Structure 1
Amino acid sequence: MQELAASQDKNLVRKVAYQILSHFDKSYRWFTRITRGAQERFEKGNWKETQLASKERITIYEQSLSDAVAEIYQLTQVHQKDDAFWQQLKKVFALQLEGHPQFELAETFYNSVIGRLFKHRKIDNDMMFVLPSRCFLPGQDRDKVVNSFDTTTTVREMYESIFKIYRYNIPFENFERDLQHLEEALRARLDKAQLASVQAVEILKPTFFRGKAAYLIGRICMPDETLPFVIAMRRYNDPNMFVDALLTDRKDLSVIFGFARSYFMADTQNPAEVAAFLQELLPNKKHFELYMSMGHYKHGKTVFYRNFLQHLSESTDKFEAAPGIRGLVMMVFHLPSYGVVFKIIKDEFAESKKITRQHVKECYKLVKMSDRVGRMADTHEYVNFRFPLDRIEPELIEELKETCASSLEFTESELIIKHMYIERKMTPLNLYLQQETDEEKVTRALDELGLCIKQIAMANIFPGDMLHKNFGITRHGRVIFYDYDEICIMNERNFRALPKSDDPYAIDTLSVAPNDVFPEQFEHFIVGKRKFKDILKSLHGDLMTPEYWHEVQKKCARGDVQHFTPYRANRRFDRDE
């Protein structure tokens, strides 16, 4: 009888492992089908479909995960199986992944299944792939993801050979002009000796589509240095496309792959190799950020957690409350030596916040599903995330207990946070403005603040609480919004003019609905100091008028899709004949 039971268990293990991988493969085919359609959407200018496809692709994972978990519950009584069953399941699943081109993504999917079955209570490398099952060696499949171009020809001939391979079913507005621009730009970047020393030009096979732009991403290899080589192409609402820029600066490429932008559509069956190539181009980017930028945000979370564990083992500093003014909705803390912040929804909100915990979660989900246009930080949701108690400052533990007790669970050695978000660390804009003494940098930051608010609005989101403490500034000087608890769709607000009256108390007697907003009051609370207010008004005074917001609402109601170029304006080619 025992032998029969053991045999049945082995068969069940193989069946469950097979079903998990089958659901992953189905999910990736679905993901690929949507991603592959990006080129046709770009060619046809179907911008609304582009946005819908982005949202659909984000939802694929949860749907596939739910299907897999439901099937496992049909196959077996999950909670009657002992740890040995699940440990064996992991081993069998790992064997199935031999030679699988997306093995690392499949491991994450497996982790998600086990996490869902056990409500993320069994984060154990014996049962899950907390660590990867194998070491990936970059370059072993490089020929599957990279095209190499002959550099013994002229610069123009090289470009012509590139566009013989990367073809689109849409004419260029002026192909000769674009080739001339590209040649002049490369010759301006490299002198004759450098051009003569170029050993290789390599470009990733997938075109990277996002919004109304398409990018060919590669590199120029010389004996002493390697440069990014990015051809940025654009479409407006006319029937043609054009080359907008040649980017050879890592700063420009870093912004293109920024954490505040929507995920690329880049069709590949070898995501690990593509991510490794991008890592070589952008060594300062975390590996998890590159996976996320390609739309593999769930695997990005896995890679982040591995990176986090490694950083903990290599550092000694302690978690503490994040610098800046305490939020009314979120408790935020960080590890000073690490580049993210951890955000927990508080148990109780201030009286001024007429919202619920569920509302806050919905707001964060809305941002995830929206085009973040380079102005809203991407956030990643975690449950039952574990922190070593001996690495947490006592003051932080006390503050967490006071503000977020329902989200905390303590063991002898760990703090488990039941629900939280992680987000890229930035300098809060209010602290930056307090500390910065360079008037030019202050003016640039305030200009960025105004642009940030405007671009978010054009993406059909009203930021709500626009206090400058809710914005951060990156090392590249970009201002990014990161406080989402009061955001809403643009048509959910009624922008009104303040009444003209000699009575200083007239505003108090107005009939003010919950969705009424008075833009003329913005200047009193976005920034504090009079000097900052005056600068912001001089640069973006239209923000303080209801007419500006009415016009944005009209564009959003028409379904106009905006595009905001991620690289600097001086990088763009002149299109005038």
Structure 2
Amino acid sequence: MTEHAQAKKMAYQIMTSFDKNYRWFSRITRGAQERFEKGHWRDALAASKERISIYEQSLADAVADLYEQIIVHQKDVEFWHALKAAFANLIESHPQYELAETFYNSVIGKVFRHRSIDNNIMFVLPSRCFLPGQDRAKVIHSFDTKTTVAEMYEAIFACYRFNIPFEDRTRDMQFLDDALRNRLTKQELGSVSAVEMLKSVFYRGKAAYLIGRIKMPEQTLPFVIALQTNDSNALFVDALLTDRHDLSVIFGFARSYFMADTQYPGELVAYLHELMPNKKVFELYIALGHYKHGKTVFYRNFLQHMDKSDDAFEIAPGIRGLVMMVFHLPSYGVVFKIIKDEFAESKKITREHVIDRYRLVKMSDRVGRMADTHEYVNFRFPLHRVHPDLLAELQETCASSVSISGDELVIKHLYIERKMTPLNLFLQQETDPQKLENAIDELGTCIKQIAMANIFPGDMLHKNFGITRHGRVIFYDYDEICLMSERNFRDIPKSDDPYALDTLSVAPSDVFPEQFEHFIVGKRPFKEMLKAKHGDLMTSEYWRRVQKETSKGEIHNFTPYPQSRRFSRHPDRLAQSTPATSASTNNDAKTSDELS
């Protein structure tokens, strides 16, 4: 067999492996509707974990198949050029061509152990320019705007069918009708030229979302119908969302990935980007569960930003971590985190343990409170853009992970994470009492919601939390996290003996919540504020109660939009129900997940 023929055969083999992987991914995703309808929430969590893990399994199989067919290290560079060209031909009209490129890159990366990034043998740059709109009709439904609002809703729910009854269909249709009329004036309603909805239903947690937009001559609004089920597995409409901020929060970087089935992910992402132009394209791919391709798109975005900027990478602001070295590019919205070679005496953990903790977070329901991280190997930085102080500290603290190759700094292993303001810096610099109070309240809420997701945060110093520009507190230090079942929450014994604590027997898994007030936040006013708002965090009773709930496998529902957006389903509160209005109050801007 000629080299060219063998390259074509290998390209087809890699393509077959990718298609098998995507069918597997889609099969898990399509099962989301049945899990939602039957209330199989534990199965939903298991499916989410499985879908994350299948990529590496498919990749390993593809690489093994390649090694069975050829002796890779006996192939010259012309073979790898021919392999890429043959693969590019195969994906020319493929509906998931961009994901296939990433899968191919992963195979080549494994073969060459990520030692080099060469566009001649990999798709460092995309094989073609994606033109959104070509497959638009394959991902959206359009609904008649010449009818009444009520008739439009009937048409929508005739299109999106669920195999369970409504809790109260008449009530919910009226909620939706009233909400849209409160949002739009009569003139605006009369000017609506199109109502579009993505064909894919977006499932996550205990909710499902129908996502689209309303098009008018002067503006286009998001149009999101949020659905949930009650304890009897009956369907109800929870909210109508028409604010871009609410939609952006739903797609937040600290939330688990959606289950949204489509054969045209590029077109779907392009549509979502039109609804949320402030979101990066890579963030949207990641939100759909295509986190590997999201990493590819991020890297391409990173290269573009490097070409357009000239600032230097420097040590990130904030208190130095005991486990991680963190740096950033001031003009770019992420931080780079590297595991240090040696940890402080107080950290009785290993490098492998830290990697395992980050993997645990990836596999967990992050409930909007734990930042997603993305792992890279042999990431390259232009050496002339690395500040000397940063380079010196990297070489001192992370020598085993960094090297210099020509004019590049190569980092063997790192995590990339969305940039936030460290909470300790925010509390030092902010002067608005309301914002400070909100931040402390958010801190307590964040800790509680992580616990209800079966994660004990471990090191809860406020320096390990960040705050977003919308005032939301997010946890991002994972080296000491564990499952709730792995800790023993104890009371400090009450005794008149001043030496009693000195003789107290303490096991490695013991935790004394009464001590939390001494180290979560430092300044006394913040301590008092936290105790006033979340004093139960400092009691072992609270932690044991949550531990008991999580041990039963109880799954909580974290609604990612404000309570004020939700429809009231209780008859005695109907008069107080306030469907979404055109103006957002300061309280609405804060999204404190409501449990229902």
| Fold match by TM threshold 0.5 | yes
> Are 1:231 and 2:216 an aligned pair?
no
Alpha-carbon distance in structure 2 between the residues aligned to 1:281 and 1:215 = 14
Alpha-carbon distance in structure 1 between the residues aligned to 2:324 and 2:499 = 34
> Are 1:245 and 2:245 an aligned pair?
no
Listed one character per residue, the Cα deviations across residues 305-338 of structure 1 (whole Å, up to 9, x for unaligned) are: 0000000000011100000000000000000000
Determine which of 393, 398, 412 is the counterpart of 2:392.
398
| CA-CA distance at 1:507 after TM superposition | 1.9
Find the counterpart in structure 2 of residue 161 from structure 1: 155
> Are 1:40 and 2:34 an aligned pair?
yes
Amino acid at match of 1:67: D
Find the counterpart in structure 2 of residue 569 from structure 1: 563
| CA-CA distance at 1:236 after TM superposition | 3.4
> Are 1:204 and 2:198 an aligned pair?
yes
Find the counterpart in structure 1 of residue 213 from structure 2: 219
Amino acid at match of 2:65: E
Amino acid at match of 1:123: I
Find the counterpart in structure 1 of residue 492 from structure 2: 498
Find the counterpart in structure 1 of residue 276 from structure 2: 282
Find the counterpart in structure 1 of residue 448 from structure 2: 454
Whether the 8 Å contact between 1:212 and 1:236 is mirrored in structure 2 is: no
Q: Any idea what SS the aligned residue of 1:86 has?
A: helix
Alpha-carbon distance in structure 2 between the residues aligned to 1:236 and 1:381 = 38
User: What are the within-5 Å matches in structure 2 for residues 395-434 of structure 1?
Assistant: 395-434=389-428
| CA-CA distance at 1:193 after TM superposition | 0.7
Amino acid at match of 2:563: A
| CA-CA distance at 1:412 after TM superposition | 2.1
Whether the 8 Å contact between 1:450 and 1:540 is mirrored in structure 2 is: yes
Whether the 8 Å contact between 1:14 and 1:92 is mirrored in structure 2 is: yes
Whether the 8 Å contact between 1:407 and 1:417 is mirrored in structure 2 is: yes
| CA-CA distance at 1:476 after TM superposition | 1.4
User: What are the within-5 Å matches in structure 2 for residues 108-507 of structure 1?
Assistant: 108-507=102-501
Find the counterpart in structure 2 of residue 520 from structure 1: 514
Alpha-carbon distance in structure 1 between the residues aligned to 2:126 and 2:542 = 51
> Are 1:100 and 2:94 an aligned pair?
yes
Listed one character per residue, the Cα deviations across residues 70-119 of structure 1 (whole Å, up to 9, x for unaligned) are: 00000000111111111110000000002100000000000000000111
| CA-CA distance at 1:419 after TM superposition | 0.2
Whether the 8 Å contact between 1:388 and 1:414 is mirrored in structure 2 is: yes
| CA-CA distance at 1:440 after TM superposition | 1.1
Gap runs ≥5 in structure 2: 572-596
Whether the 8 Å contact between 1:456 and 1:462 is mirrored in structure 2 is: yes
Alpha-carbon distance in structure 1 between the residues aligned to 2:481 and 2:546 = 16
Q: Any idea what SS the aligned residue of 2:412 has?
A: strand
Query: What RMSD, in angstroms, separates the aligned Cα atoms of the two structures?
Result: 0.7
Alpha-carbon distance in structure 1 between the residues aligned to 2:411 and 2:305 = 19
> Are 1:12 and 2:9 an aligned pair?
no
Whether the 8 Å contact between 1:215 and 1:230 is mirrored in structure 2 is: yes
Whether the 8 Å contact between 1:39 and 1:209 is mirrored in structure 2 is: yes
Alpha-carbon distance in structure 1 between the residues aligned to 2:87 and 2:6 = 12
Amino acid at match of 1:303: V
| CA-CA distance at 1:204 after TM superposition | 0.3
> Are 1:60 and 2:60 an aligned pair?
no
Amino acid at match of 2:258: F
Q: Any idea what SS the aligned residue of 1:29 has?
A: helix
Alpha-carbon distance in structure 1 between the residues aligned to 2:334 and 2:198 = 29
> Are 1:87 and 2:81 an aligned pair?
yes
Whether the 8 Å contact between 2:465 and 2:474 is mirrored in structure 1 is: yes
Amino acid at match of 1:553: Q
Alpha-carbon distance in structure 2 between the residues aligned to 1:50 and 1:540 = 30
Determine which of 61, 65, 75 is the counterpart of 1:71.
65
Listed one character per residue, the Cα deviations across residues 148-175 of structure 1 (whole Å, up to 9, x for unaligned) are: 0001111111011000000100111111
Alpha-carbon distance in structure 1 between the residues aligned to 2:195 and 2:500 = 68
Amino acid at match of 2:234: N
Alpha-carbon distance in structure 1 between the residues aligned to 2:420 and 2:557 = 24
Alpha-carbon distance in structure 2 between the residues aligned to 1:184 and 1:441 = 33
Size of the aligned set, in residue pairs, is 571
Alpha-carbon distance in structure 2 between the residues aligned to 1:412 and 1:79 = 24
Alpha-carbon distance in structure 2 between the residues aligned to 1:143 and 1:127 = 34
Amino acid at match of 1:562: H
Whether the 8 Å contact between 1:279 and 1:287 is mirrored in structure 2 is: yes
Find the counterpart in structure 1 of residue 594 from structure 2: none
| CA-CA distance at 1:227 after TM superposition | 0.5
Amino acid at match of 2:248: S
Q: Any idea what SS the aligned residue of 1:203 has?
A: strand
Whether the 8 Å contact between 2:212 and 2:222 is mirrored in structure 1 is: yes
Q: Any idea what SS the aligned residue of 2:558 has?
A: coil
Whether the 8 Å contact between 1:232 and 1:244 is mirrored in structure 2 is: yes
Q: Any idea what SS the aligned residue of 1:423 has?
A: strand
Listed one character per residue, the Cα deviations across residues 376-414 of structure 1 (whole Å, up to 9, x for unaligned) are: 000000000000001110000001011100000102200
Determine which of 546, 550, 559 is the counterpart of 2:553.
559
Whether the 8 Å contact between 2:230 and 2:236 is mirrored in structure 1 is: no
Gap runs ≥5 in structure 1: 1-6
Q: Any idea what SS the aligned residue of 2:224 has?
A: strand
| CA-CA distance at 1:133 after TM superposition | 0.1
Structure 1 ranges of 4+ moved more than 6 A: none
Alpha-carbon distance in structure 2 between the residues aligned to 1:504 and 1:342 = 47
Alpha-carbon distance in structure 2 between the residues aligned to 1:558 and 1:450 = 24
Whether the 8 Å contact between 1:244 and 1:572 is mirrored in structure 2 is: yes
Amino acid at match of 1:504: P
Q: Any idea what SS the aligned residue of 1:23 has?
A: helix
Whether the 8 Å contact between 1:368 and 1:378 is mirrored in structure 2 is: yes
Alpha-carbon distance in structure 2 between the residues aligned to 1:67 and 1:531 = 57
| CA-CA distance at 1:271 after TM superposition | 0.2
Whether the 8 Å contact between 2:114 and 2:378 is mirrored in structure 1 is: yes
Amino acid at match of 2:119: N
Alpha-carbon distance in structure 1 between the residues aligned to 2:39 and 2:288 = 21
Q: Any idea what SS the aligned residue of 2:398 has?
A: helix
